[in-house]
Amino acid sequence: MSKRRPLVAGNWKMNGSLALVDEMKSALEASEFANTDVLVCPPFPYLGSLASDGFILGAQNHSKFDAGAHTGETSAAMLKEFGCRYVIVGHSERREDNNESNLDVAEKVETAINAGLIPILCVGESEQTRDAGKENEFIAEQLDAVLKLIGIANVAKIVIAYEPIWAIGTGKTASPEQAQAVHEFIRSHLTKENADVAASVQILYGGSVKASNAATLFSQPDIDGGLIGGASLNAEEFLAICQAANA
């Protein structure tokens, strides 16, 4: 079976500036990635100025509510209106900083789909969970909360990102074998519900991906691209990662 189309998403987190917006825009507009979807997910204020033909736009979060009295929140419909195609959901930093539960995350996945956005559902274990050998169990629980709410057919409308917490921003990347093992587990877990959906869903790896390790990670059979944090803040480095996916 041929692999799925690669996707590389830059997650700026709470970083960036108008200068970085300009730099990234010109770098990406000047590049062509025929075989890869390239996605930039800046903080909300930069979404409007980043809308461009050269790449796809995503947000980093949205409200689980559709609209109304939720001061400070942003709806999925607003993001759609601003040109976003994707939204990151359930990043471990949001699960931790904002106490987002598996149910909150599932509700956000559902709200995003209903608004016509593609949620990038993040899952991944802590170092402690891995040391205890319970990473698959932990990830299955994160996936099952979403499956229970949206059903397997809707999994065809999402992207999954495996991001081991111990590898995020630490420079400690999962080895290609470690990452592949979890990606394979995620696919086999979904296969129990629907083999076609499981075979076609894109599963990205995130956690200290750099230009120097991207190619070996992306060459694994169940890794369909990456969710890139720190390295997405440097245009040259980010383009090299996109190139590795596109090769």
Binding site for ligand PGA (CB under 6 A): 11, 163, 168-169, 206-209, 227-231
Residue 237 CB, nearest approach to ligand PGA (Å) = 11
Closest to ligand PGA by CB, 180 vs 232, is 232
Residue nearest to ligand PGA (CB): 229
* 163 among known catalytic residues: yes
Closest to ligand PGA by CB, 40 vs 228, is 228
Residue 210 CB, nearest approach to ligand PGA (Å) = 8
Residue 206 CB, nearest approach to ligand PGA (Å) = 4
Catalytic site residue from 62, 91, 107, 125: 91
Catalytic site residue from 93, 100, 135, 163: 163
Closest to ligand PGA by CB, 90 vs 198, is 90
Pairing label, strands 56-59, 37-41: parallel
Residue 70 CB, nearest approach to ligand PGA (Å) = 25
Closest to ligand PGA by CB, 25 vs 95, is 95
Q: Largest alpha-carbon pair distance within the chain? A: 48
* 91 among known catalytic residues: yes
Q: What is the C-alpha separation between 165 and 181, in angstroms, rounded?
A: 16
Task: Tell me the catalytic residues.
Answer: 91, 163
